[in-house]
């Protein structure tokens, strides 16, 4: 080998080393598919009613929205029934946005405990009919259907059979399911759902029904314990927390969760000119005692003696959750979704922090 060829190879190898060193120290941004959840009891994309939402979606160039269409529950009196069907406000004008809408159906574990094999086809078709209402509204075909369920070891067989049954009746769609941190870690016990993709929900760390001072929505140290494993047998998308809720406890027992921070509504004057009553006594940070029945939020029927705890996820929790998932393989086919599209919560997070959550560094 002559000297010129040796010099060329040596020089070329040096350039490759320099490039690799540069890549290691200057990670490239990989843009994922940006998405957001709409988890309200009503759904409308009218510009008149959704000025902030439209501005948020446009400014962040979000092209995908997961829309809750139905909650399915079980009771001894009613059996399996739709406990909360999302009200859809239909457009008069044609839908002109460019969003890809994904209908989501939430199923409680109680449903799986009481779902019989002979009824599987019936409920599978009912779930599909409720989910596909969104096509009538948006005037565009659905590409993906998502099922949201916190299944257990004893109900996994029923749940997986239901998923297969749904796909049997409508095989043209892509199917995804939500995946909590517990079944992600303990997959050998809870199984791998028979679908195309999973949406890892990087929140709801602790049991909200047990009163604790810690934030049950998200705690980075607790979440990290579940995410030691770096892969999963199915393609993964990720949902990150940007929401608040109010937990209500009565007689030292959990009563209900209200999907927003209701404190501002409680302390606000009822009518113009009214003086706001001191209805709450602060016990500790974000924990309050209700001193008298709340006239400003009667629909939630709070009573004197109730304890309410407000939990929220803002800029800090969002970026901590984003950092946790940075260990996973993320590419341009990966969806990162914020949960959820709520003006009160999202306005508290700076634009650049939202953008940072949507990008992967490689």
- The pLDDT value recorded for residue 262 is 79
Parts of the chain with a pLDDT under 70: 1-30, 46-49, 90-96, 267-278, 294-300, 360-362
- For the entire predicted model, the pTM comes to 0.86
What phi and psi values does residue 308 have, to the nearest 5 degrees? -120, 140
**What are the angstrom distances between the C-alpha of 263 and each of 81, 245, 359?**
32, 10, 33
Q: Taking every pair of C-alpha atoms in the chain, what is the biggest distance, in angstroms?
A: 94
CATH domain 27-242+313-361 topology: TIM Barrel (3.20.20)
- The pLDDT value recorded for residue 139 is 83
Q: Is 53 exposed, middle or buried (0-12, 13-18, 19+ CB in 10 A)?
A: buried
Strand order in the sheet with 287-290: 253-258, 244-250, 307-312, 287-290, 280-284
Please tell me the total number of residues recorded for the chain in this structure: 362
pLDDT in tens, 59-70: 999 999 999 999
340: preceding bond cis by omega (within 30 degrees): yes
Mapping DSSP onto H, E and C, the string for 316-343 reads HHHHHHHHHHHHCCCCCCCEEEEECCCH
- The pLDDT value recorded for residue 24 is 42
- The pLDDT value recorded for residue 209 is 85
**Residue ranges of domains in the chain:** 27-242+313-361, 244-312
Q: Which residues contact 361 (CB under 8 A, 6 or more apart)?
A: 27, 28, 29, 30, 326
- The pLDDT value recorded for residue 140 is 85
The sign of the torsion formed by the CA atoms of 94, 96, 101, 105 equals negative
Cα–Cα nearest to 312, from 356, 240, 238, 261 = 261
Look over the chain and give the mean of its residue pLDDT values, rounded to a whole number: 85
**DSSP strand E in the chain: where?**
29-31, 33-38, 42-43, 64-75, 79-85, 87-88, 100-107, 144-148, 174-179, 197-201, 236-241, 244-250, 253-258, 280-284, 287-290, 307-312, 335-339, 359-361
303: left (phi over 0), alpha (psi -120 to 50) or beta: beta
Cα–Cα distance, 230 to 234 (Å, whole number): 12
């Amino acid at each position: 080998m002559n000297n010129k060829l040796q010099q060329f190879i040596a020089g070329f190898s040096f350039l490759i080393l320099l490039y690799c060193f540069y890549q290691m120290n200057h990670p490239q941004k990989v843009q994922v598919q940006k998405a957001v959840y709409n988890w309200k009891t009503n759904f409308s994309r009218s510009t008149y009613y959704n000025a902030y939402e439209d501005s948020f979606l446009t400014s962040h160039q979000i092209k995908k929205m997961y829309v809750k269409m139905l909650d399915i529950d079980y009771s001894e009196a009613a059996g399996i029934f739709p406990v909360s069907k999302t009200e859809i406000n239909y457009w008069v004008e044609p839908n002109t946005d460019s969003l890809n809408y994904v209908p989501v159906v939430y199923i409680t574990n109680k449903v799986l405990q009481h779902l019989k094999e002979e009824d599987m086809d019936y409920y599978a078709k009912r779930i599909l009919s409720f989910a596909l209402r969104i096509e009538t509204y948006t005037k565009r075909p659905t590409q993906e259907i998502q099922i949201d369920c916190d299944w257990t070891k004893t109900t996994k067989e029923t749940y997986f059979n239901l998923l297969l049954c749904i796909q049997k009746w409508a095989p043209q769609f892509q199917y995804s399911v939500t995946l909590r941190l517990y079944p992600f870690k303990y997959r050998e016990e809870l199984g791998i759902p028979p679908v195309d993709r999973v949406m890892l929900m990087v929140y709801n760390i602790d049991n909200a029904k047990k009163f604790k001072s810690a934030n049950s929505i998200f705690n980075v140290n607790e979440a990290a314990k579940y995410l030691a494993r770096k892969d999963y047998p199915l393609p993964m998308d990720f949902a990150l927390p940007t929401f608040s809720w109010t937990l209500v406890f009565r007689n030292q027992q959990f009563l209900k969760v209200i999907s927003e921070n209701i404190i501002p509504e409680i302390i606000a004057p009822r009518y113009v000119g009214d003086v706001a009553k001191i209805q709450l006594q602060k016990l500790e940070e974000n924990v309050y005692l209700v001193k008298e029945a709340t006239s400003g939020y009667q629909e939630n029927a709070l009573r004197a003696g109730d304890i309410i705890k407000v939990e929220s996820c803002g800029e800090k929790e969002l970026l901590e959750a984003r950092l946790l998932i940075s260990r996973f393989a993320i590419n341009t086919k990966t969806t990162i979704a914020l949960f959820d599209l709520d003006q009160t919560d999202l306005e508290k997070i700076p634009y650049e922090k939202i953008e940072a959550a949507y990008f992967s560094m490689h």
